[in-house]
Amino acid sequence: MTATDKARNFLEQIIEKDLAEGRVSRIHTRFPPEPNGFLHVGHATSICLNFGLAEKYQGECNLRFDDTNPEKEEQVYVDAIQEDIRWLGFKWSGDVCYASSYFDQFYDWALHLIREGKAYVDHQDAESMRINRGDFNKPGVESADRNKSVEENLAEFEKMRAGEYEEGKASLRAKIDLQSPNMNLRDPVLYRIRKVPHHQTGDKWCIYPSYDFAHGQEDAIEHITHSICTLEFQDHRPLYEWFLDNLPVPARPRQYEFARTNLNYTVTSKRKLKKLVDEGVVGGWDDPRMPTISGMRRRGYTPASIRRFSEMVGVSRSDGTADVSMLEHAIRDDLNTNAARAMAVLAPLKLVIQNLPEGEVQEMTAAAHPNRPELGQRTLPFTREIYIDHEDFTEDTMLSRKKFKRLVIGDYVRLRSAYVIRADDVIKDENGNIVEVHASFVPGTVGEDPPEGIRPRGVIHWVSATHGQQAELRIYDRLFNHPAPDRGEEDFLSHINPESLKVMQAWIEPSLVNAAPEQTFQFEREGYFVADRCDHSAEHPVFNLTIGLKDTWANKG
């Protein structure tokens, strides 16, 4: 390892120590999503962390679905999660793993605990169980079932498994310590009855293990060495270890906690994201405004930008909130380097070049990228009628060159990758609105300086009115207009930014109709756009605004 590869965070320090001291010969991590929604940007950082560590230390990383909660889980989520991870550029070790593949093993281990006198079937309802568990100031109270014999418990557990009890009428609990200051150790539930089919195991089970009873044992079965989770599981660690101590597990994983990634102007909770989808606030889980991986993908984020963002937020041991502008910066930076340039006119104003005959087409060539000749060139048809942006023209001849570096009546401007032109006249409708500008081009100015005495005010973009194409542009902005949409008393839905989507028609340079879905562009002077991966076609071009050229939120406070 070189000096630049040195440990970047506390987890890397731990791993390097474990490898150096021989506690492990190779690291094995895992990413364990519950398939109850699409993954979001917070999960993306956890993916980059777990898979990234395995890459860095030549270990392995499993993808394991933590599917112990059948009523909230669905196959579509299982599929979407795999797609997201592949798209981010990571490869899991071996086959996809499922907690549900270990249900037989968990069941045997439950029997093991019962036989050892370390688990019992409790018939208290959920409410009594909660009350009798006590709290930090109040000791727990034993259930009448706590000291029943092993035989009775085996028989009761068998009845649970056979479906003889209704939901809520019995649960299997570990017999640990009802006085423990750590509430997780006050006889946690190992199995509960849920009479619902499971997306992987069908009708085989009507009892399902709890997260706590499943997670560490899954890690042990898969020989995970470093089980990395978020901080809220810190208090569960003694329980994680209790199971490993009390079960004949094949390996001894260790749990480490790091802080969740929180982002301002964003909600990162599958439950709340599901609400946005279910209530039709957004078009779906992959709506380009969603902080889901699939939403960001459709918005035009690249895997590299998301990986870069994960590095920027790093790994921390205490909770904090990252600025969403970091994420935006990561994609802007990536696209500035990698996106091809193109021209699109969003607020078209017709400009007629009087000294260019009707029907004449001159082919201009322009680099796809100013600093990357290897990306090639494109051809721009230059015709008598073109569109420029309304904002790029004014009749106000008093505006100084410094204030208005665009087209002014009687003055010159350069058309990007084409001629210098002069605006000669305007045509207005009966209400006085400008509908057309008449102009003339200065011959010999393509790629050449204009003659002495002609000083263009600036450079503006344009599209041929006869050869350009129309496209639908979806102009996205942040979904929430509040920095902490779900941290206050009020409903997070009250902070939806009403301006988060505007749909408009624009004129685009002709080559853009052939854009491949997901191809990204900088529409010069407008922003970074991506061909929509679902709706874009040559017949109906659709581009999504990924991000503006500059951060327009920076000064909004």
State which residue has the least CB distance to Mg ion: 34
Tell me the closest approach of the beta carbon of residue 34 to Mg ion, in angstroms.
Answer: 5
Tell me the closest approach of the beta carbon of residue 37 to ligand ATP, in angstroms.
Answer: 6
Q: How far apart are CA 42 and CA 315, in angstroms?
A: 12
Interacting partner of 230 out of Mg ion, ligand ATP, none (Cβ under 5 to 8 A depending on kind): ligand ATP
Catalytic choice (161, 254, 260, 378) = 260
Residue type for position 262: N
Measured from the CB atom, the residue of 80 and 531 that comes closer to ligand ATP is 80
Cα 78–Cα 65–Cα 111 angle in degrees, nearest 5: 135
Give yes or no: 74 in active site: no
State which residue has the least CB distance to ligand ATP: 42
Q: Name the 3-class secondary structure at 218.
A: helix
Please state the residue numbers annotated as binding site for ATP: 34-36, 230
Residue type for position 121: V
Tell me the closest approach of the beta carbon of residue 183 to ligand ATP, in angstroms.
Answer: 19
Beta carbons of 192 and 122 less than 8 angstroms apart:
no
Rounded to the nearest angstrom, the gap between the alpha carbon of residue 258 and the centroid of all alpha carbons in its chain is 19
Beta carbons of 170 and 123 less than 8 angstroms apart:
yes
DSSP state of 557: -
> Is residue 268 close enough to count as binding ligand ATP by CB under 6 A?
yes
Beta carbons of 380 and 524 less than 8 angstroms apart:
no
Region binding ligand ATP by CB under 6 A among candidate stretches 40-48, 196-204, 288-296, 442-450: 40-48
> Is residue 64 close enough to count as binding ligand ATP by CB under 6 A?
no
Residue 148 structure tokens: 């029943």
Interacting partner of 536 out of ligand ATP, Mg ion, none (Cβ under 5 to 8 A depending on kind): none
Region binding Mg ion by CB under 5 A among candidate stretches 26-34, 150-158, 219-227, 314-322: 26-34
Give yes or no: 272 in active site: no
Measured from the CB atom, the residue of 225 and 268 that comes closer to ligand ATP is 268
Q: Can you say whether the dihedral through the CA atoms of 248, 230, 58, 302 is positive or negative?
A: positive
Q: Which of 12, 16, 18, 34 binds ligand ATP (CB under 6 A)?
A: 34
> Is residue 468 close enough to count as binding ligand ATP by CB under 6 A?
no
Residue 158 structure tokens: 């068998």
Q: How far apart are CA 226 and CA 30, in angstroms?
A: 8
> Is residue 406 close enough to count as binding ligand ATP by CB under 6 A?
no
- Sheet of 469-476, strands arranged across: 340-342, 520-523, 527-531, 542-547, 469-476, 501-508, 344-345
Tell me the closest approach of the beta carbon of residue 39 to ligand ATP, in angstroms.
Answer: 7
Burial 50-82, CB ≥16 within 10 A → b, else e: bbbbbeebebbbbbbbbbbbbeebeeebbebbb
Q: Can you say whether the dihedral through the CA atoms of 78, 83, 85, 86 is positive or negative?
A: positive
Region binding ligand ATP by CB under 6 A among candidate stretches 5-13, 37-45, 147-155, 164-172: 37-45
Interacting partner of 269 out of Mg ion, ligand ATP, none (Cβ under 5 to 8 A depending on kind): ligand ATP
The DSSP result for 283-334, as a single string, is SSTT-TTSSBHHHHHHHT--HHHHHHHHHHH---SS--EE-HHHHHHHHHHH
Measured from the CB atom, the residue of 261 and 520 that comes closer to ligand ATP is 261
Tell me whether strands 254-258 and 262-263 are parallel, antiparallel or unpaired: unpaired
Catalytic choice (270, 298, 299, 457) = 270
Measured from the CB atom, the residue of 37 and 348 that comes closer to ligand ATP is 37
Please list every residue from 31 through 50 that binds Mg ion, using CB under 5 A: 34
Tell me whether strands 119-122 and 97-98 are parallel, antiparallel or unpaired: unpaired
> Is residue 46 close enough to count as binding ligand ATP by CB under 6 A?
yes
Interacting partner of 297 out of ligand ATP, Mg ion, none (Cβ under 5 to 8 A depending on kind): none
Give yes or no: 270 in active site: yes
Measured from the CB atom, the residue of 34 and 323 that comes closer to ligand ATP is 34
Backbone angles phi and psi of 207, in degrees to 5: -120, 140
Catalytic choice (12, 34, 241, 385) = 34
Interacting partner of 277 out of ligand ATP, Mg ion, none (Cβ under 5 to 8 A depending on kind): none
> Is residue 541 close enough to count as binding ligand ATP by CB under 6 A?
no
Torsional class of 534: left (φ above 0), alpha (ψ -120 to 50), beta (otherwise): alpha
| R_g of the chain, CA atoms, integer Å | 31
Please state the residue numbers annotated as binding site for L-glutamine: 66, 211
Number of residues that bind Mg ion (CB under 5 A): 1
Residues acting as catalytic residues: 34, 260, 270
The residue ranges that bind Mg ion (CB under 5 A) are 34
The residue ranges that bind ligand ATP (CB under 6 A) are 32-34, 42-43, 45-46, 229-230, 260-261, 268-270
